[in-house]
């Protein structure tokens, strides 16, 4: 589904992404891990054509994401609160996002019923603007909105950050279910090695913009990653 070739991005003479080759198959759930500055968010932003690489190409279903908009029809993402319209209430925001995908307000309300447990009574009917919610609750809004279009490719940057333990568990269950039932291809970056090895069937480890390790998860993956980061 995704093919990355000779991808390079530099800022002020410093290379922040240098990925020679990366292939992602349909239905894989990829965990992107690395310390701060490893290039995870920069890679995501190039994958979404928010910034352009200095060299190389990212192909989504064989189409260059920088030269075609067709990938937008099946790609959804939530990177941070900058993706939200924070002067709206969650209800207004969901209706707006739904309208972009041809959904009526009634369809949106019906869609949101499946997230009642995930929202935990903290999102809807609170009489608050999105900007007044906690970072964790903003994450909930962004993730639910991203999934509204029923994407084939989902990109989430630190989705577990700022969530309470109960919501983290619910999010993991949601992502696993989507992977199994909809063959959703998912990119997840996270500093939480427990969550990423639990949810993802493949781990890509970045260091200074380059891929250090790329492997499928098993019962030893968490220990391997902990050993790497403790060196």
Q: Residue 207 in contact with residue 35, Cβ under 8 Å?
A: yes
Task: Report the DSSP pairing between strands 29-33 and 202-207.
Answer: parallel
Measured over the CA atoms of residue 49, residue 54, residue 57 and residue 58, the dihedral's sign is negative
Cα–Cα distance measured from residue 182 to residue 199, given in angstroms and rounded to the nearest whole number = 15
Residues 198 and 101: their CA atoms lie apart, in Å, by 32
Residue 149: predicted pLDDT: 87
pLDDT at 185: 94
Which residue, 60, 92, 88, is CA-closest to 75?
A: 60
What confidence score (pLDDT) does residue 113 get? 94
End-to-end CA distance of the chain: 34
Place of tokens 């935990």: 120
The predicted structure's pLDDT at residue 183: 82
User: Residue 12: its pLDDT value, please?
Assistant: 87
For the chain, which residues score pLDDT lower than 50?
A: none
Is the pTM higher than 0.85? The answer reads yes
Residue 213: CA count within 13 A, CB half-sphere: 14
Residue-averaged pLDDT of the chain: 93
CATH architecture of 25-53+63-74+151-231: 3-Layer(aba) Sandwich (3.40)
3-state secondary structure of 175: helix
Nearest-angstrom CA–CA distance, 211 and 38: 9
What pLDDT is recorded for position 22?
A: 96
In this prediction, residue 178 carries a pLDDT of 86
Query: Is the CB of residue 132 less than 8 Å from the CB of residue 188?
Result: no
| Residue-range domain boundaries for the chain | 25-53+63-74+151-231, 84-149
> Are the C-beta atoms of residues 42 and 16 closer than 8 Å to each other?
yes
Residue whose pair of structure tokens reads 């009642």 in the numeric block: 116
Q: What angle do CA 18, 213, 167 make, to 5 degrees?
A: 100
């Amino acid at each position: 589904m995704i093919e990355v070739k000779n991808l390079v991005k530099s800022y002020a003479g410093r290379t922040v992404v240098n990925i020679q080759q990366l292939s992602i198959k349909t239905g894989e759930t990829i965990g992107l891990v690395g310390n701060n500055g490893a290039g995870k968010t920069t890679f995501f932003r190039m994958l979404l054509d928010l910034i352009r690489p200095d060299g190389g190409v990212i192909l989504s279903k064989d189409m260059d994401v920088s030269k075609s908009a067709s990938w937008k029809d099946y790609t959804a993402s939530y990177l941070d609160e900058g993706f939200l319209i924070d002067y709206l209430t969650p209800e207004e925001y969901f209706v707006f996002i739904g309208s972009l995908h041809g959904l009526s307000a009634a369809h949106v309300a019906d869609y949101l019923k499946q997230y009642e447990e995930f929202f935990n009574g903290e999102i809807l009917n609170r009489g608050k603007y999105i900007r007044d919610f906690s970072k964790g609750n903003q994450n909930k809004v962004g993730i639910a909105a991203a999934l509204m279009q029923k994407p084939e490719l989902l990109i989430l940057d630190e989705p577990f950050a700022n969530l309470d333990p109960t919501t983290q568990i619910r999010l993991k269950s949601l992502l696993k279910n989507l992977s199994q039932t909809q063959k959703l291809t998912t990119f997840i970056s996270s500093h939480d090695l427990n969550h990423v090895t639990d949810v993802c069937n493949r781990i890509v480890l970045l260091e200074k913009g380059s891929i250090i390790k790329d492997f499928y998860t098993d019962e030893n993956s968490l220990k391997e990653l902990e050993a790497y980061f403790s060196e």
